[in-house]
Structure 1
Amino acid sequence: MNWAAEQTAAVLQLAVEFGATASWRPGNGAAAVWDQPVLFDAPSHGLAINAPGEGGLNGRFDYTDYLMTAAASAFPGLKAAVDTGSAEFVTVEEFGEETGRFFVRAVRYIGDGGLIEARLSMEKPDAESDRGQLDPALARLFAG
């Protein structure tokens, strides 16, 4: 077994041990992907950006960067869909309990391409019709 295969096997074993799974319904109507093991990183603190405005008005943007790592083969087409600008969402569960529904901001291959790393934003139930989606300029800034 080569190093990349060992890395993929280790990530998948950790995903099983930590009990997180993700499901994805492709925005293009393709077949859904259910309950795939993933590593899910939910930060304990978000990033707050304060911007002083004109006339004493201030703007504040709260941002939390969630990260999902999975076998690339578990989510075929996810990277291509996100790269073309399609609004894609995954639902994450930990030990059978739903953690949340997340907008997929960016996906990149890691290692030899056998794994993907997806940057996520939590969908807010009280947001507008574009809920869960960042302003494109901010999404590019935080996607790296």
Structure 2
Amino acid sequence: MARTTSDIVIGAPPSRIMDVIADFENYPSWATGVRVADVVATSGDRAERVHFVLEAAPIRDQYDLGYTWDGDHSVTWHLVERGSMLTSMDGSYELEPVGDDSTRVTYQLSVDVSIPMLGMLKRKAEKVIIDTALKGLKRHVEGAT
């Protein structure tokens, strides 16, 4: 499955950015389209499984993602309970310190849906999702300083 990738530099250390990424209950306040993000299971102090309700036109769906954390370096996720539209979702955030007070956040995503969609259109949709998420994350992290 091909992945779409993009990155952004955020003016904060990796630990603060990863704390925001791991704070699922606040996703509806900054992650466009996310109406609900309920932690279903945890491992240690971070979520292992999260239930999402998404309303991002044209997709409205409910699904569960499973998460694997590597400290403040990266987090990966995959679809563990399909929704009515989403049939597959794999993604990751990788955090790399840049200088003393910034971090490059790289987001990779691959999504499949139950409706037929040309590969080119699917990649464009993934790119919009990634860019919107990265900008929202940057705004939320830097606004909290």
TM-score (norm 2): 0.26
Bigger fraction of residues in strand = 2
Bigger radius of gyration: 1
